[in-house]
Structure formats: C-alpha cells, structure tokens
Amino acid sequence: MKTNALHMVGAINEALRQEMTKDERVVVYGEDVGVDGGVFRVTDGLHAEFGDQRCFDSPLAESGIVGTAIGLAINGMRPVVEIQFSGFLFEAFAQIMCHAVRVRNRSRGRFTCPMVIRTPYSGGIKALEHHIESEEAYLAHLAGLKVVIPSTPFDAKGLLLAAIRDPDPVVFFEPKRLYRSFKQEVPEQDYIIPIGKAALVREGTDLTLIAYGAMVRECHEAAAQAEKEGISCQIIDVRTISPIDRETIIAAVQSTGRAIIVQEAPRSFSVASEIMSFLYENLFQSLKAPIARVTGFDIVNPMARGEDLYLPNQNRVFQEIKKVMG
C-alpha cells in the first residue's frame, strides 16, 4: 500500500481531489476556494485541475452558499462547500437548521440533502476575533445533521470521504491548529473511516481521557506525563460528535472506572455535558471517581492575547488527572 507523509491540509485536499475524480457530481465552492485555493490552501490546485465548473469562488454570502448547496443536493449534485471560518457558519444557520437537516424528514424521504459543509474551526493559532471559537455544540444540537471533527491527517481523509458519500448533510470541522502541525503517513488509496465511530487511540487502565480535534494531542501529552508518575491513561478520540458513539465511550470508561472529558468549547450545555450525562446514566454504579471535565469557560472567547488563558492544555489536563486519581 503506497502512503505519503501529509499534513491534515494535504490529506483533505487529497480526499477532495480523489472524490472529484471519481464522482462527477461533486462540486466544491465557497469564498476564495478557486484560484486562491482557499485561505488555508485546502483546495489548492483543484481549480486548475477540474476547472471553473467543479471548483469555483462564490459571492461572499454564507447563507447563499449553504442555501444553494441544499438545492444542488436535492437536484442530484454532491456539493462540498466551504465556510471560510466556522465563526461565520451562523450567517448560514437558518438554512442549515430550517432546511438542510429537515429535507429528508419533511418530504418523508422523497427529497434528500447529501452535502458537506467544511469549515476551519477552533483556536490555538492566535487568529482574529470570530476565528477562534468552537461551535460544535450548536450544530450537534440539530437532529438530522452529522458533525465530524478529525484529529489526524489519516482520519481527516477517511472521514471526509465518508462524509461526501453520506446520504445526509454533514458539517466537517477542521481544527486549524492541526492543519500543518504534524504529518502522518496517509494511504494513497481510497478508504473511509465510518461516521459515528469513536477510536481508542491510547491503551490504559487507570483512567479514560475523552477528547476530539486539537485536544486529542493535549491529552496524549498529559497521558505521557501521567505515565511517568505511574498513572495509566487511555484516550478515546470521539471523531464524530453527532451521532456520538456511546458504545465505544461507555465501554472504555467501564474498563477504567474513571473519566475526564476535554474540549475547547465553553463548559455549559456542551458536548462534554452530553458525554458526561450518558456516562452517568450507564455507569453510575461502576465509577471509581466522579467524572471530570476540562473545558473552555462560559465567557466570550478571549482574543489572541488572552487565548492561552482560555484554552485547555496539557497542564490543565494533567492537574485534573491527578485530582481524579486522588
């Protein structure tokens, strides 16, 4: 099997290129995705290779981008649109909430909406106001929408291919901090990583760390630090926020009896809150310690100079591990 060392940017680009080659219905559009190749260069080269009809710039209008993609999807195309930054998803929120997620249900299956909304997401690169937030909870709250967040180049390619082939709408969050932070061997061949499946990415026996996106790496580092003190941490990468893989997460926590959920998003009404509640519903009797969360805070996201205060990091995760282990 041939593989190439790719950053996440390269892996996503490869997935788009391969699916555009394979499936003529796939079109890619959004702000600056054409000649410029996207502000993060995720769509680099696609315009040159596939031309104006397959990869193109749209007017600067998120509701327009998503709303027209719904129409394209209904009428036989497979749009993969880009919202330049996830902070601007909300200009399109009414189209997602009132239409994309309901097309199948309200037509009792007569019409469907197979589309992907890709968007650079979350913090850690000292970006501008509205370019640092983590919006997954708002989206995950919508019935009828799948929400995916990769944490590695390998997963990004397989998950994106699965998303494009999915019969329903998918929001694909790409953690900006991971775009070029590390490379991984990525198979050239076609493969998918199923939506709705979490992964056990580190074995351990004392405690389960549950994270996604850029926080997976912070967990790996905290786990390595804990290991030096004789604490064995397991890590679950959630990968799909909705529908969430309860089985894998519950089984993991059952095996250790302790859990810490880590996310960048604000603490209240969040993905961590949801994971915590199904863990308690299912495992209350077998827990060795209360479940803990390491999260962002219930405040407006600080801008770049205050970002480090806000974002969970290895240190905060490690402190929590010590606390949970007592």
Ligand X SMILES: Cc1ncc(C[n+]2csc(CCOP(=O)(O)OP(=O)(O)O)c2C)c(N)n1
**Residue 23 binds what, of ligand X, other proteins, none (CB under 5 to 8 Å, by partner type)?**
none
249 versus 265: smaller Cβ distance to other proteins: 265
Question: Which positions ≥6 away from 284 have C-beta within 8 Å?
Answer: none
Alpha helices in 75-175 (DSSP H): 93-98, 103-106, 136-140, 153-165
316 near other proteins, judged by CB under 8 A: yes
Query: What proportions of the chain, in percent to the nearest 5, are helix, strand and coil?
Result: 40, 20, 40
**Residue 250 binds what, of other proteins, ligand X, none (CB under 5 to 8 Å, by partner type)?**
none
Q: CB 268: neighbour CB atoms within 10 A?
A: 11
Contact residue for other proteins among 99, 165, 183, 267 (CB under 8 A): 267
Helix or strand (DSSP H, E) at 21: helix 8-22
The interface region with other proteins, picked from 96-104, 112-120, 122-130, 157-165 by CB under 8 A, is 122-130
Please state, in angstroms and as integers, the Cα–Cα distance from residue 196 to each residue in 145, 163, 228, 258, following that order.
12, 11, 33, 23
89 versus 162: smaller Cβ distance to ligand X: 89
Nearest residue to ligand X by CB is 88
Contact residue for other proteins among 35, 98, 143, 224 (CB under 8 A): 35
Q: Which of 135, 30, 139 is nearest to 95 (CA)?
A: 139
The C-alpha atoms of residue 151 and residue 179 are separated, in whole angstroms, by 10
Give the CA diameter of the chain.
60
The interface region with other proteins, picked from 123-131, 220-228, 252-260, 278-286 by CB under 8 A, is 123-131
Report 13-32 residues binding other proteins (CB under 8 A): 31-32
Instruction: Indicate the DSSP class of residue 178.
Output: G
Shortest spacing between CB 183 and ligand X, in angstroms: 28
Shortest spacing between CB 141 and ligand X, in angstroms: 22
Contact residue for other proteins among 68, 88, 287, 289 (CB under 8 A): 88
The C-alpha atoms of residue 157 and residue 169 are separated, in whole angstroms, by 17
Residue of 7, 47, 131, 220 marked catalytic: 131
**Residue 59 binds what, of other proteins, ligand X, none (CB under 5 to 8 Å, by partner type)?**
other proteins
309 near other proteins, judged by CB under 8 A: yes
Query: Does residue 47 contact residue 55 with C-beta atoms inside 8 Å?
Result: yes
Identify whether 131 is a catalytic site residue.
yes
88 versus 191: smaller Cβ distance to other proteins: 88
Look up residue 228 and give its two tokens.
């030096």
Q: Which of 151, 104, 98 is nearest to 124 (CA)?
A: 151
Q: Which of 251, 248, 297, 239 is nearest to 270 (CA)?
A: 297
172 versus 310: smaller Cβ distance to other proteins: 310
119 versus 184: smaller Cβ distance to ligand X: 119
**Residue 52 binds what, of other proteins, ligand X, none (CB under 5 to 8 Å, by partner type)?**
none
**Residue 108 binds what, of other proteins, ligand X, none (CB under 5 to 8 Å, by partner type)?**
none
Q: Which of 37, 8, 33, 25 is nearest to 214 (CA)?
A: 8
- Contacts with ligand X by CB under 6 A lie at 31, 60, 62, 84, 88, 91
- Of how many residues is the chain composed? 326
Residues that bind other proteins (CB under 8 A): 31-32, 34-37, 39, 57-64, 87-88, 91, 126-131, 267-268, 297-300, 302-307, 309-310, 315-316, 319
Active-site residues: which are they? 131
